[in-house]
Amino acid sequence: MLNLKNQIRAAVAASRARIMTIAEQILHHPELGYREFQASRLMRDLFGELGLPVQENLAITDCRAVLDSGRPGPTVALLGEFDALPVPAHPLADPATGAAHACGHHAQSAALAGAAIALTATKAREKLSGKIVFITCPAEEFQGLDFCRKLIAEKKLVYCGGKAELIRLGVFDDVDIAMMIHGGCEHFSPASFNGFVMKKIVFTGKASHAGLKPQLGINALSMARQALSLIDAQRDTFEDQDSVRIHGIITHGGAAVNVVPDRVELELQIRGKTPAAIRDAAEKVERCLQAAAMAFAGAVQVETLPGYMPFKSCPELEQLHAANLKSIAPEVTFSTGTHRGSSTDMGDVSMIIPSLHAYNGGFTGTPHGTDFLVTDPDQAYVQAAALLALNAVDLLFGDAATGKRIAALPTPLRREEYRQLMLETSRPAEWNYRKDKAV
């Protein structure tokens, strides 16, 4: 195996210029979720050039290529996200859309490309069992809720999260183990991330002259303010270990200052460490919304959309990743075991498949900030490419004994349980306390 691993490292080093070019091309053409057409074409063309069979246009911009050893064994998925997010003040933002790679997803696609180049160039398939699938992943950044809702209404999507949509479409049906490496400022692998659900909320009241006849109106902004206050007061009721976070924005606060607001819209994100914690918090939020509508004899409509499932890391995958990192960068410190209050759609994958979501260095600044930039492209792109390929070799070398063992590890949910949970989460609710029921 050492021989093959040395060949992989040499092949990655030899393709350094190509990996850098792919990273730069995606970095300088940032595309928002479900609109990553150029990045998708770039990756599809590369996989085709490597002679790998490619499926494309899955979840609008995803493509999936397969390297088949021809021998039975587990299927290992290597994942690379490629969506940007709106940070208009970022120095590399697209002036037209405000999109920028302020989360560094361009590095993931470059690493995925480098891994595919190295694994094909070395003829690794002759030494492995099972399959390696390369999956480009759209729309990890949960933003543009109304854009996603439009795609859902047009029946182009069912879920906003890219990986949830890929799971729904069957892209992970044959996958036994999944791994990805996210760009960061340090090398580590979180044990877990929060999951979340989204709520799109509309309070409806009644317009009236705010100075002359406010008593004839029903103030939707008052309902929203009281609902947010009630939600704040719920914070005492959450268990510390559930890591619950509820945050939101008012996306429409009224039409004019001299009119009692008759329509106020909010978006709330409800996070927690387990599906049960999220469900509990979401029920409390709904009670607060309902109570505020009742207090003012108004109405509230609540649309709940699945966000991301909580992420749970596979320690066995972390161990082999740490060993490969040590072999190529012995000076680097690698840590594990922390919980993150943020979320990733890799959570959905980790609920049903043993998964790794490691961070690799090479960046500086604050993720999603204007200063998040690559300062060490060799770490961010080339080292990450080598790690993905080396991890896959560990899992599938020979008769794939390590891969088979890890593939058999239990996951938090069975696939059918996951599907059911996603279906149950998507639901509308409405409470109308208006005397005239005129909503």
Q: How far is the CB of 374 from Zn ion (least distance, A)?
A: 14
User: Which one, 112 or 300, has the nearer CB to Zn ion?
Assistant: 112
| Distances, alpha carbon 68 to alpha carbons 53, 77, 124, 129, in Å | 10, 12, 10, 8
User: Which one, 92 or 103, has the nearer CB to Zn ion?
Assistant: 103
User: Rounded to whole angstroms, how far apart are CA atoms 75 and 397?
Assistant: 12
Under rule CB under 5 A, residue 11 binds Zn ion: no
Per CB under 5 A, contacts with Zn ion among 103-122 are: 103
Under rule CB under 5 A, residue 63 binds Zn ion: no
User: Which one, 241 or 364, has the nearer CB to Zn ion?
Assistant: 364
Under rule CB under 5 A, residue 27 binds Zn ion: no
User: Rounded to whole angstroms, how far apart are CA atoms 297 and 300?
Assistant: 10
Sign of the Cα torsion 269, 425, 82, 356 reads positive
Q: How far is the CB of 182 from Zn ion (least distance, A)?
A: 6
Q: How far is the CB of 367 from Zn ion (least distance, A)?
A: 6
- Each residue 66-105 as x (binds Zn ion by CB under 5 A) or -, in order, gives -------------------------------------x--
For 338, phi then psi, to 5°, come to -90, 160
Q: How far is the CB of 82 from Zn ion (least distance, A)?
A: 11
Q: Which residue is nearest to Zn ion (CB)?
A: 103
User: Which one, 144 or 403, has the nearer CB to Zn ion?
Assistant: 144
User: Which one, 260 or 309, has the nearer CB to Zn ion?
Assistant: 309
How far is C-alpha 117 from the geometric centre of its chain's CA atoms? 25
238-255 CB burial, b ≥16 within 10 A, e <16: beeebbbbbebebeeebe
Under rule CB under 5 A, residue 346 binds Zn ion: no
Q: How far is the CB of 30 from Zn ion (least distance, A)?
A: 13
User: Rounded to whole angstroms, how far apart are CA atoms 113 and 70?
Assistant: 22
Tokens 């891969």 -> residue:
403
User: Which one, 103 or 227, has the nearer CB to Zn ion?
Assistant: 103
Q: How far is the CB of 61 from Zn ion (least distance, A)?
A: 16
User: Rounded to whole angstroms, how far apart are CA atoms 13 and 397?
Assistant: 21
Which one, of 416, 409, 360, lies nearest residue 383 by Cα?
360
Per CB under 5 A, contacts with Zn ion among 144-203 are: none
User: Which one, 103 or 119, has the nearer CB to Zn ion?
Assistant: 103
User: Rounded to whole angstroms, how far apart are CA atoms 27 and 29?
Assistant: 6
Q: How far is the CB of 277 from Zn ion (least distance, A)?
A: 22
Contacting residues toward Zn ion, per CB under 5 A:
103
